[in-house]
């Protein structure tokens, strides 16, 4: 059973890989993804300089998922830039750098620095981090998104994709798709965590994470229906050259299958990777293969995007 996939022209041996966020900040963590069955290595969102992020506790899980307000702790662009040759040659899989400058100027500087590195397969531009105090999520501001893409697309020499926040209104899907269709993007990743949720400890009558009075991005089971809806909408609305990468609520092969049925070209794993570690990529891939075999599918193209209405 073949799980190979194309994201635009980027070939993946396995459509399942990590989401930017959990366990992809240090070289040790990125090597662990490289050694695993993950189809690509995606870094933590990078700012220009190293960042320590928000105060702890800043990540909490429960049975239904996670809440986080990490605040973009990362090693800085130069670190991810320098790791590119070793990771891409050792593991022979795409190496994708997530970029989340705190201003347009910072994004320009990061992209220009990464342009020098030929061993980077693609950039995932994060327009949707909900956790930096006093910084809005760019992709909820449609005009600003257009300005950012007008500036970044012409200077980026790598394949470029964007990570979107979840949308909830049909008009917003259309408006954002109309903007994205104006650019030669390779992919969009749907979705980042659902921003500014609140999880409460009833015994303590207290929030569970420290930053922003407890408000943080929600991941895991909580967000699967929203993620599926976003993948489906953008699959239907975007031009064919822009692949949709799914992210949200994937913890087993069935979840991955559902995202692909909605139109995903590839599937990222976030909260479950944090829980289980890098073995999750092999397990989820095997479960997806078993389900495909049961259904008589040989490859992802046999069912990708073919969700039926009733
Ligand atoms: N989404 C992000 O884009 N970034 C992280 N958390 C999240 O939910 C972070 O670093 O806060």
The residue ranges of DSSP E strands in the chain, in sequence order, are 5-7, 10-12, 16-18, 41-42, 59-62, 65-68, 95-99, 122-126, 159-164, 187-190, 194-198, 200-201, 206-207, 215-219, 243-247, 266-269
Between the CA of 279 and the centroid of ligand 1 the distance, in Å, is 23
Which atom belonging to ligand 1 lies closest to the Cα atom of 69? Answer: 11
pLDDT, tens digit only, all 310 positions of the chain: 899 999 999 999 999 999 999 999 999 999 999 999 999 999 999 999 999 999 999 999 999 999 999 999 999 999 999 999 999 999 999 999 999 999 999 999 999 999 999 999 999 999 999 999 999 999 999 999 999 999 999 999 999 999 999 999 999 999 999 999 999 999 999 999 999 999 999 999 999 999 999 999 999 999 999 999 999 999 999 999 999 999 999 999 999 999 999 999 999 999 999 999 999 999 999 999 999 999 999 999 999 999 999 9
Q: What is the mean pLDDT of the chain?
A: 98
Q: Which of 15, 129, 247, 280 is catalytic?
A: 129
Token code pair at residue 249:
């609520």
- To the question of pTM greater than 0.95 for the whole model, the response is yes
**Cβ–ligand 1 contact at 192 (below 6 Å):** yes
By alpha-carbon position, which residue is closest to atom 2 of ligand 1?
A: 129
**Cβ–ligand 1 contact at 72 (below 6 Å):** yes
> Alpha-carbon distance 83 to 73, whole Å?
17
| SS3 of residue 24 by DSSP | coil
What is the per-residue pLDDT for 1? 84
Mutation choice for ligand 1 from 70, 98, 161, 271, CB with most ligand atoms inside 8 A: 70
> Alpha-carbon distance 112 to 98, whole Å?
14
For 241-279, the DSSP string reads TSEEEEESS--SHHHHHHHHHHT-SEEEE-HHHHHH-TH
129 catalytic per annotation: yes
Which atom belonging to ligand 1 lies closest to the Cα atom of 74? Answer: 10
**Cβ–ligand 1 contact at 25 (below 6 Å):** no
List of long-range contacts for 112-118, beta carbons under 8 Å, 24+ apart: 112/155, 113/48, 113/77, 113/78, 113/81, 114/77, 114/80, 114/81, 114/158, 115/155, 115/156, 115/157, 115/158, 116/81, 117/81, 117/84, 117/85
What is the per-residue pLDDT for 9? 98
What is the per-residue pLDDT for 123? 98
């Amino acid at each position: 059973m073949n799980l190979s996939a194309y994201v635009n022209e980027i070939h993946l041996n396995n459509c399942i890989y990590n989401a930017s966020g959990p366990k992809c900040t240090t070289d040790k963590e990125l090597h662990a993804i490289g050694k695993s069955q993950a189809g690509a290595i995606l870094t933590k969102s990078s700012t220009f300089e190293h960042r320590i992020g928000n105060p702890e506790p800043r990540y909490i899980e429960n049975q239904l998922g996670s809440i986080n307000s990490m605040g973009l702790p990362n090693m800085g662009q130069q670190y991810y830039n320098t790791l590119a040759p070793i990771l891409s040659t050792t593991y022979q899989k795409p190496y994708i750098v997530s970029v989340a400058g705190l201003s347009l100027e910072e994004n320009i500087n990061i992209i220009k620095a990464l342009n020098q590195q030929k061993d980077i397969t693609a950039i995932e531009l994060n327009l949707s981090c909900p956790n930096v105090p006093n910084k809005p999520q760019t992709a909820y501001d449609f005009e600003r998104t257009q300005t950012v893409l007008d500036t970044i697309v012409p200077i980026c020499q790598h394949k470029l994709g964007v990570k979107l926040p979840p949308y909830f209104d049909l008009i917003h899907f259309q408006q954002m798709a109309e903007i994205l269709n104006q650019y030669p993007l390779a992919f969009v990743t749907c979705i980042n965590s659902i921003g500014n949720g609140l999880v409460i400890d009833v015994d303590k009558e207290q929030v569970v994470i420290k930053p922003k009075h407890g408000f943080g991005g929600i991941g895991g089971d909580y967000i699967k229906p929203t993620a599926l809806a976003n993948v489906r909408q953008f699959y239907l609305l975007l031009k064919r050259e822009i692949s949709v990468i799914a992210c949200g609520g994937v913890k087993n092969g069935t979840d991955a299958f559902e995202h692909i049925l909605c139109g995903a070209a590839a599937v990222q794993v976030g909260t479950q990777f944090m829980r289980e570690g890098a073995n999750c990529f092999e397990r989820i891939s095997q479960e997806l293969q078993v389900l495909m075999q049961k259904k008589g599918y040989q490859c992802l193209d046999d069912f990708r995007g073919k969700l039926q209405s009733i």
